[in-house]
Amino acid sequence: METQNIQEPQKSLSEVNQSVDVPENSSFLRTLRAFLGPGALVAVGYMDPGNWITSVVGGATYRYLLLSVVLLSSLMAMQLQQMAGKLGIVTRQDLSQATASYLPKPLRYLLFVIIELALMATDLAEVIGSGIALHLLFGWPLLFSIFITILDVFLLLLLMKLGVRKIEALVSTLIMTILVIFLYLVIVSKPDLAAMVEGFIPSPRIFDFANRSANSRLTLALGIIGATVMPHNLYLHSSLSQTRKVNYKDKVSIRKAVSFMTWDSNIQLTLAFIVNSLLLILGASLFYGHASDISAFAQMYNALADNHIAGAVASSFLSILFAIALLASGQNSTITGTLTGQIVMEGFIHLRMPQWIIRLVTRLLALVPVMIVALLFGQQEKTLDQLIVYSQVFLSVALPFSIYPLVYFTSNKKIMGEFVNAKWNTILGYLVATILTLLNLRLIWSLF
């Protein structure tokens, strides 16, 4: 295979690269258990606080209409994440390293700037979500709660010393916490099951541009896509897939690693799809007709205890569960976001610095827009939450800039050897990126 003769690159996330043993000649379930983990760290980016606003408001505004967008974006995510994980395993390079190796310098630096802005947008949603959760649970001042989120950068450093499996276990536990809480919230909200099933069928009404509200629907639809298929996750997965030990002298071992990586990714992204669907269903079943009353996290928190909005199921217990899930979501996404900051910095510009500096700088950069908005408009949760919505739309705009290189690398036989994409997969990948680009251009045109 051609890729085995390339010069061995600098290891991505060198402290955990090839650190997890996998059994040889073992049962399917035992081998799968060894490979489970990286997909969980990727999946948390698909259920971060940015998803909450777009999905819940989407449900509260258009009822179950946008469930089909959640479904399609989740299927899109499975395809792209499989490509990203395969790129890492086969080439032993993450997406940022491959970009630096194979693309011209001007394009490489343009993509670096775009992904750094996307990381800031991602981190923005995480720090605001975690900060508001702390504010709601403990009554601390909002800006103080947001600044406290800086400390979780150092928590991640401690976890890294314990090993990647400990991080995966913690993240998986928090994912299950979020899943159970939202499953309970949806069950007590008693959704319309027939309308819910119908919502998973794509409807042309989403793109009915003759309708005055179509731009708003498209904005929310792209926000859901941007919050679901996140650019930074493609870089993260291409690195985390290299944490399992692979015998690169044996093609069978490489093929097995790619296969089980795909199982891990699809299982975890299915859980993320369920959580995102539950978020939108909760908005539709509990808050439909009250969209203007729940456009912020604090409003959602209060609405769950308000008899006029949540009806007979309203209780402070539901509000507390919501805030706990929000905090778990923010902390989960923080772990993966700061890891990606290191991957991108080292891969694109070969900047090797102490991990705590890279992670702290990434976090502080994300706080800059929060501070600007807070100074200009005051410490209003609704204003900060609106900032999250627009950050998710920006992620959708930035997404094709990560998809095109990924599809190009994984469909190039000189790079991937026999593990190159099937033609249908390549065509589908480019089609997804092109449709997203056209929809983004349509949205930008409508906004201006």
Q: What are 158-184's pLDDT values in tens digits?
A: 777 778 888 899 889 989 999 999 999
Q: What's the CA gap between 290 and 267, in Å, rounded?
A: 34
Q: What is the pLDDT of residue 180?
A: 93
Residue 273, pLDDT score: 94
Under DSSP, the state recorded for 104 is -
The structural domains of the chain, ordered by start, are 2-447 (1.20.1740.10)
pLDDT of residue 361: 75
d(CA 285, CA 278): 10
pLDDT-flagged residues of the chain (< 70): 1-9, 153, 156-157, 207-216, 226-227, 352, 355, 359, 362, 366, 374-382, 385, 443-444, 446-448
Q: For residue 1, what pLDDT is reported?
A: 45
Burial 121-140 (b: 16+ CB within 10 A, else e): bbbbbbbbbbbbbbbbbeee
3-state helix, strand, coil in the chain (%, to 5): 80, 0, 20
pLDDT at residue 226 in the model: 65
Compute the CA torsion angle 393, 394, 395, 397 (nearest 10 deg).
Answer: 90
pLDDT tens sequence across 68-113: 999 998 999 999 999 999 999 999 999 999 999 999 999 999 999 9
Asked if 187 and 418 touch (Cβ cutoff 8 Å), the reply is no
This prediction's pTM: 0.89
DSSP assignment of 47-65, as one string? SSHHHHHHHHHHHHHHTTT
Residue 213 has what pLDDT? Answer: 52
Q: What is the DSSP string of 143-163?
A: HHHHHHTTHHHHHHHHHHHH-
